[in-house]
């Protein structure tokens, strides 16, 4: 689509990697060089029944603990086994946007237009995406930059509907004497994550987040992904809602080919006062899926 | 349980991390120091409908591509939106042992005994594991050692039922002038992986793999995990089948607290002639699940 | 099990039909003879997302509307079709105890004892019931007797926790000059059904229903099934709760082999002043399932 | 849509009942009058894992036997119960076109046109059909006419691809001295049902069935539904395949508002030599679903 091509003409029509193209061996070495103590921070939430979701499009996460060890013992004894090997299994039913997860570029459209000049009426099928599915997302090993905007308004977190603009981000970066480089993963802590599984009604009723201007400024800097401690990265309700809905998703995923990481748990980094880290997120390659639950980590 | 405690008395009753205890900051630094070119290898298969599984306990993997962009456009227009933000989603139904994945320590039992002295009748519930679920597995960033046994019999792969013993592994390690260290991830390439999704009937009918002696030898060396390009790591049918079934799973998971990684795609490493790497696997924290599909990577 | 055998020694060990044995050709003719005008009443609720359920054991009902006509058109055109046959399908995830449904005799146990002298540790498996599943329930075509207890306390419905005893039922039957005969289906209207999908929180918080004495009195009369406009037929909380839980389910299903029909919509019969009817319920034969959603009807 | 309106202008635009409009009280009395001995025949198959389905649009049927009695005992004991009430439950994942089932009028389209002048792009949503879903299908109590065409070619069953035309049906009806009346349910036995679950590969590879001429002749006679012992009622491959696919579904469901009943088990009627019966099928009211598994019965 024109807009997407305009933004990233260097990658051309049909590209499925987007800003993942910035993740070069050099970029990985730059990120790994940040690890000096071997300290590891888990930036993900546990995924369980009742995980926050947008009704009704995001269907409930469910896990059933069967078949289990007892049936296995019975079956294996009947098959002549004497060592009583019991195996526990489960059945999970879920969307890929549950818990801490990353969005595939194919998660959003502008009308029928998708990233890379693709047409949703061709790409989006009953059995998943024929292109731009999460299996095309890169293994992310890159430099992570933490931007803690949680205290900008004096409290411990920003309120729902509070827009985070380019100036807010620049100010925080300046405080950290940090500058964005191509391929960086921008991690924005709003403090809103404290409500995850503690008060899901509030967590979902709205959220602080970046506005379109911030999104465009960040994609212009060449970030590969933007992650937050919220459901949607972008401010909700949006600045021009209801007329304009989810513009940050449209710009980042469809126009800029930049990935979004949601429901991150960033407090470990904030508490440790870490502004720069080696960030790793490895999306599971569910064919044609629009995202993947994940367990991102940060190392220093 | 006595055996588990005997093996790892240093971690004690109630430990849920097992050989993940070896993954210290020092071990991570040792692993990261192996990355010189920033080259990254994806060691996972794409997960799709028809992925190999053991009937009937491993239920079919399914992805339905809905809700999709069209319904979203309709709903958002009705809500007053003019920017046509379409979102694609899906519903996935699966076990966690689909595609490339890691087993949680709670995946297996010996009778009702589980790792760490736990009783399956208490821990295994209708809604998953109360202990030893995959959310307790570590983020793995460690040294990976490739052991390519695929050509030991002259062909390009070992046949189903072919046991890989300690001596086979030692020979391959010797060829690489490599020795196992505590916390290493042992990656065994049997060549059997070539049948994954190409001939699932054959892939599932049996497989080459390590025998109990090899498993005990490896856990004694202090490996944190053992991964293979097969469904089950261990030789199938087993050396004492049907009387003894899945003994390697019992020893590694229940007795030794050592993780198993299955359905790996190791050819990229083999083709590049890489015997030693920085191995990373980040299990998704599905609460109470017995494993997690994953996207492990290797870097050099 | 002793109790079950004691109650129905005439059917003996291993019987899977229970009080369905009363449904003879003669009984069916008796029921059909009640139909004079050919009037039909639908006694079921529509089953939809959000249907009331007991958390967490009764998992959410879910329907996803895919694959749909558009994908079908695409696929068939690619296969050379010119007649644009679009087909809509869906995926449903549910328990069988959703909406208006009937319980299979295998739904409940007393310890490990099940109806017909069966042992739950043998019969209940990871893949459903080996015996006493809903596929063994009869096609019910029998005489239905409506007992409207809703106004016994002066209001339009009985309150949660209100026990309906034998005397209450006898009084209502006397008013209708009706007497119970073998094989009858007893339909008890408490008025509580008004909260179904209108106030599910209240609907589930407790309910009026029969007590154990009433259940025993009814099974002694030889009814084949008992149905109500509530979730559980029996009064909740029970008269001896929490020490004794779900005693009516235990007595009817396990001891007496009498079926329970739940979440009925009985107002059509009440409004039409119909006390006696031809009642038909045809359980879908889901192999090994503990019940079946259904669409029972009444005819006069 | 014009064709649909042309066929049934008497029911008009927006009608959702179709040929169900023929099911009057008089028709029910006519059907019930056929029951003289009270004999009941079950015309349905048991629904289980592995039930035949058209890949990939009809997704696998699955039942998991959990939660079960043991967890219930544990939970209730913890809640203070002493009567050990164990409850068994399950989770089912299915399409509604599994096993013996009935199609809703909204199951098919002609392009974007649906029965009653509806537009599929409005009616078919991510969460099911807004109109023409199975909850709008009637409770069927009507006259059933058995047409046994299984031996027309000398064997015990017709071969796949064998078209059953109007003349075939008329011949069989003449042999039975039977004539079709408005609201009848036509039950066509091809003998193909013998392969159901015995040889699903063959059962699905093609089938004998009615051609478009027969479908048009039957809907002209005013039948309410057509049922067969096959997956699709219509001959497969069709007479004009691949150019024309599923024309009988299009004509019956979209144009004529006539219901289709599939995977019937008709041998009990054939063996008993019953040509005329009281037929009952009660579709479960899954909101917005395109069909419903069912347990149809016949009585004489």
pLDDT of residue B4 exceeding 60, the answer is: no
User: Which of D233, D242, D300 lies closest to D273, judged by CA?
Assistant: D300
Which of C76, C120, C295 lies nearest to residue D282, judging by beta carbons? C295
Residue B132 token pair = 């030893």
| Distance separating alpha carbons of residues C227 and C291, to the nearest angstrom | 14
Helix (H), strand (E) at residue D41: strand D40-42
Pairing of strands B209-210, B163-164: parallel
Are C38 and D32 within 8 A, CB to CB? yes
Mean pLDDT for all residues in chain D:
96
Helix, strand, or coil (residue C111): coil
Query: Which chains reach chain D with 3 or more Cβ–Cβ distances below 8 angstroms?
Result: A, B, C
Q: How far are the Cα atoms of A183, A295, C120, C133, C249 from residue D86, in angstroms, in the given order?
A: 56, 38, 9, 15, 10
Q: Identify the band that residue C281 occupies on the pLDDT scale cut at 50, 70 and 90.
A: very high
| Chain C CB contacts of D94 below 8 Å | 91-92
Q: Contact at 8 Å (CB) between A228 and A214?
A: no
What pLDDT does residue C10 have?
77
pLDDT tens for C199-218 read: 999 999 999 999 999 999 99
Dihedral angle over CA of A165, A169, A174, A180, nearest 10: -120
- Cβ within 8 Å, pair B297-A45: no
Q: Record the pTM.
A: 0.96
**Are C87 and C103 contacting, i.e. CB atoms less than 8 angstroms apart?**
no
Tokens of C2: 């002793």
d(CA D129, CA C153): 42
Determine what percent of chain A is predicted with pLDDT higher than 90: 96
Residues of A in contact with C59 (CB under 8 A): 62, 64
Does position C3 have pLDDT exceeding 60, yes or no?
no
What share of chain B has pLDDT > 70, as a percent? 97
CA distance B114 to B106: 7
In terms of Cβ atoms closer than 10 Å to its own Cβ (0-12, 13-18, 19+), residue A37 is: exposed
D93, closest residue in chain A (CA to CA): A93
CA separation, residue D73 to residues C232, C234, C241, D81 (Å): 18, 19, 15, 9
Cα–Cα dist A13/A6, whole Å: 10
Q: What's the average pLDDT block by block, 10 residues per block, for chain A (300 residues)?
A: 50 94 98 98 98 95 97 96 98 98 98 96 97 98 98 97 98 96 98 98 98 98 98 98 98 97 98 98 98 98
> What's the pLDDT tens digit per position in C4-13?
444 555 798 8
Select from B65, B93, B126 the Cβ nearest to the Cβ of C66. Answer: B65
> Encoding tokens for residue A127?
């059995």
Report CB contact under 8 Å: C112, D69: yes
Nearest-Cα residue of chain C relative to residue A93:
C93
pLDDT in tens, B106-144: 999 999 999 999 999 999 999 999 999 999 999 999 999
Q: Is A250 left (phi over 0), alpha (psi -120 to 50) or beta?
A: alpha
**C127 chain-A contacts, CB cut-off 8 A:** 67
CA distance D16 to chain B (A): 23
| Cβ–Cβ gap D109/C285 under 8 Å | no
Indicate if the pLDDT at residue B86 is higher than 50: yes
Task: Chain B: give the shortest CA distance to residue C67, in Å.
Answer: 8
Residue owning tokens 């591509």: B65
B-chain residues near A247 (CB < 8 A): 83, 85
What are the residues of chain D with a beta carbon less than 8 Å away from any beta carbon of chain B? Answer: 49, 56, 59-60, 62, 64, 66-68, 71, 74, 93, 125-127
Question: What is the residue-wise DSSP string for D84-132?
Answer: -EEE---EEEE-TTSSSEEE-GGGEEETTEEGGGEEHHHHEETTEESSS
Nearest CA in chain D to C243: D81
Distance, in Å, from the CA atom of C65 to the CA atom of D132, rounded to the nearest integer, reads: 13
Q: According to the model, what pLDDT value does residue B10 have?
A: 77
Instruction: Select from B15, B22, B233 the least CA-distant residue to B143.
Output: B22
What does each C-alpha distance from A260 to A94, A104, A223, D204 come to in angstroms?
19, 8, 11, 44
- Partners of residue C82 in chain D, C-beta under 8 Å: 243-244
Beta strands B225-228 and B185-189 are: parallel
Best A57, A58, A59, A64 member to test D by mutation, with max D CBs in 10 Å, is A64
| pLDDT attached to residue D271 | 97
Q: What number of C-beta contacts closer than 8 Å exist between C and D?
A: 316
Are A111 and B280 inside 8 Å of each other by CB?
no
Closest alpha carbon to B3 in B268, B279, B255, B273: B255
Better-scored residue on pLDDT, B6 or A129: A129
Closest CA to C212 of C191, C173, C241, C185: C241
Share of residues in chain B with pLDDT > 90 (%): 96
Q: Which pLDDT score, from 0 to 100, does residue B159 have?
A: 98
Cross-chain Cβ contact A95/B95 below 8 Å: no
What are phi and psi for residue B18, nearest 5 degrees? 60, -140
Which pLDDT band holds residue D10 (cuts at 50, 70, 90)? Answer: confident
Question: Are B127 and C64 a contacting pair at CB < 8 A?
Answer: no
Q: Please say if the pLDDT value at position B194 is more than 80.
A: yes
Residue D21 sits at φ, ψ, to 5 deg, of -65, -20
C-alpha distances out from residue B123 to B18, B120, C55, C144, C276, Å: 17, 5, 20, 46, 51
How far A135 CA sits from the closest chain C CA (Å)?
Answer: 22
Record: contact C126-A59, CB cut-off 8 A:
no
Residue by residue, DSSP assigns D259-281 as EEEES---HHHHHHT--EEEEEE
Q: What is the CA radius of gyration of chain B?
A: 20
Residues of A with a Cβ under 8 Å from any D Cβ are: 56-57, 64-68, 70, 91, 93, 126-127
The single residue listed with the structure tokens 């031809």 is: C278
Residue C5 is predicted with a pLDDT of: 42
CB-CB: which of C66, C93, C126 is closest to B66? C66
% of chain C residues with pLDDT over 70 = 97
Partners of residue D112 in chain C, C-beta under 8 Å = 69, 86
Largest CA distance in chain A: 70
Q: What distance in Å separates the CA atoms of residue B213 and residue A298, rounded to the nearest whole number? A: 37
* Ramachandran area for residue B80 (φ above 0: left; ψ -120 to 50: alpha; else beta): left
- Contact (CB, 8 A) for B84 and A111: yes
Report whether A96 contacts A129 (CB < 8 A). Answer: no
Which residues in chain D have their CB less than 8 angstroms from residue A57's CB?
126
CA distances from B62 to A43, A271, D291 (A): 28, 40, 21
Can you spell out the DSSP letters for C205-242? H-B-EE-HHHHHHHHHHT-SEEEESSSSSB-BS-TTTT
What local confidence, expressed as pLDDT, does residue D270 receive?
98
Residue of chain A nearest D65, judged by CA positions:
A66
List pLDDT tens digits, range C150-161.
Answer: 999 999 999 999
Rounded distance, CA D86 to CA D252, Å? Answer: 47
Please name the chains neighbouring B, where neighbouring means 3+ C-beta pairs under 8 angstroms: A, C, D
Cβ contacts (< 8 Å) between A59 and chain C: which residues? 62, 64
Contacts of A65 in chain D (CB under 8 A): 66
Residues of chain D with C-beta less than 8 angstroms from the C-beta of C293: 284, 286
Reference C296, options C272, C258, C269, C257; nearest CA is: C269
What pLDDT is recorded for position B6? 45
Distance CA B45, CA B266 (A): 10
Which of B48, B56, B125 best tests the D interface by mutation, with the highest count of D CBs <10 A?
A: B125
Question: Could you tell me the two tokens for C263?
Answer: 């979440």
**Closest by Cβ to B64, choosing from C56, C57, C66:** C66
Note the pLDDT tens digit of each residue in D147-163. 999 999 999 999 999 99
Cα dihedral B78, B79, B83, B85 sign: negative
Q: What does the pLDDT read at residue A18? A: 96
Report the alpha-carbon distance of residue D108 to residue C73 in Å, rounded: 11
What is the per-residue pLDDT for B5? 42
For B36, which residue in chain A has the nearest alpha carbon?
A: A29
Nearest-Cα distance to chain A for B242, in Å, is 6
- pLDDT reported for residue C12: 87
Question: Taking the CB of residue D98, how many other CB atoms lie within 10 A of it?
Answer: 26
User: Chain D interface, mutation test: which of A54, A58, A71, A91, most D Cβ atoms within 10 Å?
Assistant: A91
Residues on chain C bordering chain B, Cβ-to-Cβ distance under 8 angstroms: 56-57, 64-68, 70, 91, 93, 126-127
Of B260, B280, B277, B252, the C-alpha closest to B139 is B280
B64/C65 CB distance under 8 A:
no
Q: How many CB atoms lie within 10 A of CB B176?
A: 15
Residue C23 has pLDDT above 80, yes or no: yes
CB contact under 8 A, C285 and D47: yes
C77, HSE (Cβ side, Cα atoms, 13 Å): 10
Chains in contact with chain C (at least 3 beta-carbon pairs closer than 8 A): A, B, D
Task: Kindly list the residues from chain D whose CB atom is less than 8 angstroms away from the CB atom of residue C89.
Answer: 57-58, 95-97, 107, 290
Asked whether the beta carbons of residue C79 and residue D109 sit closer than 8 angstroms, the reply is no
Q: What mean pLDDT is reported for chain C? A: 96
Helix or strand holding residue A140 (H, E): strand A140-148
3-state secondary structure of A193: helix
ipTM over 0.95: yes
CB contact under 8 A, C127 and B56: yes
Contacting residues for D273 by C-beta, under 8 A, at least 6 apart: none
Residues in chain B: 300
DSSP character for C139? P
Residue of D nearest to C282 (CA): D295
**Residue B68: which of A3, C68, A231 has the closest Cα?**
C68
Q: Which residue of B has its CA nearest to A56?
A: B67
């Amino acid at each position: 689509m024109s807009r997407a091509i305009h933004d990233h003409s260097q990658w051309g029509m049909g590209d499925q990697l987007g800003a993942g193209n910035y993740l070069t061996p050099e970029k990985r070495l730059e990120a790994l060089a940040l690890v000096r103590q071997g300290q590891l921070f888990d930036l993900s939430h546990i995924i369980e029944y009742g995980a926050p979701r947008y009704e009704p499009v995001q269907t409930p996460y469910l896990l059933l603990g069967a078949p289990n060890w007892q049936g296995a013992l019975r079956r294996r004894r009947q098959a002549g086994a004497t060592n009583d090997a019991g195996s526990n299994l489960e059945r999970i039913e879920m969307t890929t946007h549950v818990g801490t997860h990353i969005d595939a570029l194919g998660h959003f459209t502008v009308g029928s237009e998708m990233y890379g000049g693709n047409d949703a009426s061709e790409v989006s099928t009953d059995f998943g995406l024929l292109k731009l599915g999460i299996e095309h997302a890169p293994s992310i090993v890159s430099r992570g930059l933490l931007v803690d905007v949680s205290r900008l308004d004096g409290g411990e977190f920003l309120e729902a509907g509070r827009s985070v603009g380019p100036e807010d981000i620049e100010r925080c970066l300046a405080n950290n004497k940090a500058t964005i480089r191509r391929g960086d993963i921008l991690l924005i802590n709003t403090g809103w994550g404290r409500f995850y599984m503690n008060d899901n009604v509030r967590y979902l009723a709205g959220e602080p987040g970046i506005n379109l201007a911030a999104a465009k400024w960040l994609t212009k800097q060449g970030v590969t992904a933007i992650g937050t401690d919220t459901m949607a990265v972008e401010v909700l309700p949006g600045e021009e809602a209801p007329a304009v809905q989810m513009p940050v998703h449209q710009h980042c995923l469809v126009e800029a080919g930049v990935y979004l990481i949601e429901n991150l748990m960033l407090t470990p980094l904030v508490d440790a006062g870490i502004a720069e880290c080696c960030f790793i997120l490895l999306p599971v390659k569910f064919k044609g899926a629009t995202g993947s639950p994940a367990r991102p980590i940060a190392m220093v």
